[in-house]
Each structure stands twice: as C-alpha cells, then as structure tokens.
Structure 1
C-alpha cells in the first residue's frame, strides 16, 4: 500500500531551528550558519520518513517562519514598505515581512483558522504585480531528490483557494478583492494567451497548478513533480 504524508514537524527534536533562528536574529550567527542547521534538519526529516516506509515523501514542508509567507514570497507579493527591488527574495526581506525591522512594521499575523498556529497574512490588491521571486519550492525538491534517488518526492504548495481566502484585500478584511482571481485549474482563460497549467493529481504524478490574475498581470506557476521545474508562463499585457 502506498503511503504519503503532507507535513512533518520542522523545529527539530531539540528545537534546533528555534535556537538557530534566535541566534541569527540576535546577530550572533551568519546566514550560512542558519542555512546549515536548516539543511541538516531537512536531511534528517527525509531520512526518518524514508526509514518509516513512506512512499511519497513531501518536500517544501520546511519553513524558516511560515509556509503562507513562503508562498507570498514565491509570488513576489511584497509590500512597498519593505523596499524590495526585485530578484530572489533573501532572508533580510523575508524576515522583515515576518518580524518587521527598525524602520517598518511586520505584516499582520493571525491564527490559522481555529488553531493556535499563527501565520503571516498576505496582502494583495489591484496594484499587486506577481513575479517568481523565491525558488525555495524547487530548490528543496532538488535537494530532496539528491538526498535519496530511490524514493519518490512530491513538492507541496499551499492551496490557491486557501491562499485566496486568507488574504487581506486591502480593506483590512480577509478575502482577496474582486479584482484578484486565484485558482487552481487545468486551463487558463483563452483571453490571457497562457499555456494550460497542469491539473492537481495524485501523489507521484505530474503537476500542481497555481493561477493568479489581477488588473496588472496574470501569472501561472507550475511545479512539475518529475522534472522539478517551476515555470513562470507568459504574462498578458497590463
């Protein structure tokens, strides 16, 4: 019987990630030190799942702070106050969004539905311009595959419907504004001129699609589980 899980505790058995983050935030350790702890934890987690007999092992379940924030970073939906100028979103911008800094406050935080887990609330609106700004999902998938070539791995993304529902629409209320559409699907509207994203399928098969559209641009993300490619499709004209 095939087995699959969709997540795993990431802090470490001795809360290694917690202590590494606190050391990094206090300026007592480097980015390289933090990344080394993260790499070792991911490797240990995949090893435990492999030894437990899990057939389809998830990747992209690790996060330095919050998987919702990771998705926001992947989409390049960075608020102007963080002075991000494009390119790959680094830890400085990422943690400024999560925790704020000396000049700007953090993004809003709220509870994940009725749990005690908190997440950073995305804030999107008609002026949001999506761009592929974090390669984390693909990088960690490739890292997982390099760790064990004998197991099947599945890169996981937050559901686009969930992302839509937990978004601040610019008016202080949850739920993206009507001018923004986020959905999963097997095809994009013909008027956008986009290639069709793949449909969501069973673990181990190709594809998870994330389609986003607003007044500024349309962007389709594709995670191909077999080839580990995340492709930014053509944008329609603003």
Structure 2
C-alpha cells in the first residue's frame, strides 16, 4: 500500500511540476522485477479549453536493469533515494530524474532525438517522424540496421509498418526462429500477430505435442 501511495503521489507531483514543459518531456514510473525494470512513460498534451497535462499518451516497456546507465539495484531497493540515469538508444537518449524506494520509482524524463538516426531513416526512405514516434523507437531499441537486414531478407516495410516493427520487435532473428520452427516466409502482419499472440518456438512445439501440427499462421496466432 505504501508503494502504491508513493507512486501516485510522485506522479501527481511530477505532472504538476512539469505541466508546461516542452513536448519532449514527461513523467516516468518504474518497478523492479528481478533484474529487469518495468518502465512506463507518460506524456500529455495541452488542450484549447484547459491548459494542463493530460494522460493521453502512455507507453510501457520492459528492459534489463543493466541497460539504464546510472541506475543500480541498490538504488531501487533502498528505502528512499534521488536518482538520475539514462537510456541510450540509436534513436536518441532518454534522461530520467526522480526518486525511488523499495523497488519502485517515479519522476520526470526528457528525450533528446538522435539527428544521425533521423538522417539514416531518411536515407532509407522514411521521413517526417514525430517526437512521439522517435520516442517509441528509442524505448524499443529500434535501429535503422533492422530495416536494412529485413530488406536483405526480402521485406519492404512501408512507413506505417516501421513503427510496428519497432514496437513488436520484428527482427531477422525472430523471423529466422519462426522459419526454423516451420513458419518460413511470414508476412510482416503475420509476424506482428505472432508477437501479439506470444507465439514463439516453444509455443509452436507445445501445440504440436498436443496434436496441432498443421495450423496456419493465422490460426496459430488466434
């Protein structure tokens, strides 16, 4: 109960403090789960009727603790500590500051997009990404190299599909794993459906042990 109250109060304070910050900023909450961090980012927008921060943009992702530069398990498990740490990605850097206690934390973040990432994506034919989209790419550790590798495999993602590839982590390794499990030449839509349905090699093997050896990609993901 104390942990829940800590998070609620921290979010309320952060939204109040940063209600008028520029659009690359927002609020974060985090929870330590073994050696991983469940991170949630909140961003808001001002409306014409009432100036203030809303909760209209929420994104969560799971990340190994070791990927956060400047944040330790000792910090997160302490009774209370002020923290500053970063998550460095090809798409940019997310800088965090706030307070943690007993495995949870909350505070403010600021995102700085990478100009080289934008230029690389432009060279690949993808332009006009918003700050929100670039933040998604950073949170999910998306790299332009993923597009190059997918093209080498015969895929030609359109601009809309690029964001889905990032969010659901449709990588060449995942597609090769599915091919080895008997599902070669998946479309990008089928690959996304597999991710949504949590279909992996272990799940496919389990279904075959139950006698379902000829399921289509669509039925397997349902």
Q: State whether TM-score is above 0.5.
A: no
| Greater gyration radius | 2
Q: Which structure's residues are more often strand, by fraction?
A: 2
> TM-score normalised to the size of structure 2?
0.27
> TM-score normalised to the size of structure 1?
0.25
Higher relative contact order (CA 8 A, sep 6+): 1
Q: Which structure's residues are more often helix, by fraction?
A: 2
